[in-house]
A and B are shown apart, each in its own frame.
Chain A
């Protein structure tokens, strides 16, 4: 079924994290330092430290409610952190808006799909290309030559991106009419269109059957290999996570409880306890 992916060797870095050996010496695409956010009296995320290498496939896992999507929201500036720093390609993203964060190189998909349902599949991707293939508003209104040239480029680029998932034929379909799996894939394509350095996937395999998941795993690795970007994903499907993630960070109650390779995480007693509860004396599970 799933190919055995040859994962790179992970090496430690000064920030108490690990990055792929091939990325050693390069600036990490993401560095979170003591990141935290409070909602009123509730501390949703606390002291979150993470380093992600330039071409790493990283995983963010943890039980429900652990704060994983909250971390994504912090990284993409949907929420402004209460404390801590986020360095994207070495640049501090403090005070950035959501759009500015994207322009700085971070793109995402959403747990509950957020497509532009009334627009076509191709238009959804073209919107992703908004900042990559540009022309001024007046060129558009007056239909000057630059409009025609850039629109052609956008059209071709959109189809090229859709071909990653073999979706070129769906270009003119209404995005809202696509089946669930196709919608998830379209969201990934749209995010890729923004030319990010780091792609965040929020539960990309949700609702997929094993063969779709296997295909997704191949596609994620293919994306990383083709575009030379880093990808971080939130997932509950452990086959996927352990299968393709090189570095894994485990969250529980908003705190990092473990970081390491798949093998290290699987053997970590704190992780087991977080997912399965503690073993009482006599062997009964909570």
Chain B
């Protein structure tokens, strides 16, 4: 009896999460049909989808796996640039925009996944602060690599160089796609809101199902108590890697989508600040709270527009910073939590040794 009530609640919760995305899509399409969508809002639709996907992806690592990744923009950039290369080099072979977009996103996802494995295998042997700093280091290294990368395509295929454009030795009719620090400057914009919504739905499907499965339980167990999880036979790195690589794949797809929305995309756009921005979305929405990530990412992506209209945009990052600090203190300090919720703080038995309580990450709700 009790079990069905709890699983019914979970089912309803998941429906609500999917529902929000679907309803939003329908709403936008209806408003668009009525001509009520201004160009500035229309321009935000694809970025919203991309950032929502990024936030859900990062939440998988930070909220469900309990590891702080400070370089996730790196995976986004791998997806973005590999997607652009795929799209631009297939221009003749596949004239259909939607097909090329899909291919770009898949290519982006795959390459970001490979990057996720390359970064994840060494990184996930570390813990806590060291892991976070190393992800930051990798993010910067990836940015550095794209800053010196030149890619061109001609009849013979793809050419790469890390020195300059001339070294690509492109033949007549060849096109340079990535130009080092300038990135891509002649990208064909293929992204659509529909594609973005599909990506978000696929991401939800993957992440929600993963979290509510045996692998998801293992991932969360690792987060809550690593030694206990290992003591029941769960191999630490396997499941942390699973969460990390899945997250990288989704971030790569999001990056490809994001890149296909702009005609020029440079590596410096995917820097540490971009990683922190997504982290703010995740923290504000709630670690382990997927629905929260969707709402926070969408809201905070359009917020700058409104603030700019009111002349308050320059305070935006400052407010983010304060919010970050406050959310962390409120959710982790019993006295402050009691102050805000008006309830007496629970006096849990604090053991003499450093037996740290877990961050209040969600148990598997959608």
Interface residues of A (CB under 8 A from B): 76, 78, 97-100, 102-103, 107-108, 110, 112, 114-120, 122-123, 126-128, 130-131, 133-135, 137, 140-143, 147, 150-151, 154-155, 169, 171-172, 174, 176, 180, 190-191, 193-194
Contacts and interface: CB of A to CB of B under 8 A. Distances in A.
Contact of B363 (A97, A118, A134, A151): A118
B233 interface: yes
Interface string B193-232: 0000000000001100110111111101100110111111
Interface stretch (B33-41, B45-53, B111-119, B234-242): B234-242
B224 A119 contact: yes
Given A130-B218, A130-B234, A190-B232, A140 B2 contact: no
A140 B239 CA distance: 14
B230 A99 contact: yes
Q: Which of B228, B348, B363 lies at the interface centre, i.e. has the most chain A CB atoms within 10 A of its CB?
A: B228
B209 A128 contact: no
A119 to B, nearest CB: 5
B169 interface: no
A108 B363 contact: no
Contacts of A128: 232
A130 B357 contact: no
B209 A116 contact: no
User: Sorted from nearest, which 4 A-B pairs have the closest CB atoms?
Assistant: A140-B213, A102-B233, A114-B228, A98-B230
A122 B10 CA distance: 15
Q: Which of A116, A135, A154, A174 lies at the interface centre, i.e. has the most chain B CB atoms within 10 A of its CB?
A: A116
A190 B206 CA distance: 28
Interface of B: 2-3, 6, 205-206, 209-210, 212-218, 220-221, 224-225, 227-236, 242, 348-349, 351, 353, 355, 357-358, 360-364
A118 B361 contact: yes
B2 A172 contact: yes
B199 to A, nearest CB: 16
B215 A140 contact: yes
Contact of A134 (B214, B232, B235): B214
Q: Which of A117, A142, A154 lies at the interface centre, i.e. has the most chain B CB atoms within 10 A of its CB?
A: A117
Given A155-B3, A171-B2, A117 B358 contact: yes
Contact of B349 (A116, A133, A151, A180): A180
A98 B227 contact: yes
Contacts of A140: 209-210, 212-216
B197 to A, nearest CB: 20
A279 B218 CA distance: 53
A142 B209 contact: yes
7 contacts: A78-B227, A118-B361, A130-B234, A131-B234, A133-B214, A137-B210, A141-B205
B234 A127 contact: yes
A86 B349 CA distance: 35
B227 A114 contact: yes
Contact of B232 (A78, A100, A102, A151): A102
Contacts of A100: 235
Contacts of A122: 3
B214 A114 contact: no
A114 B183 CA distance: 49
Nearest to B210: A141
B353 A127 contact: no
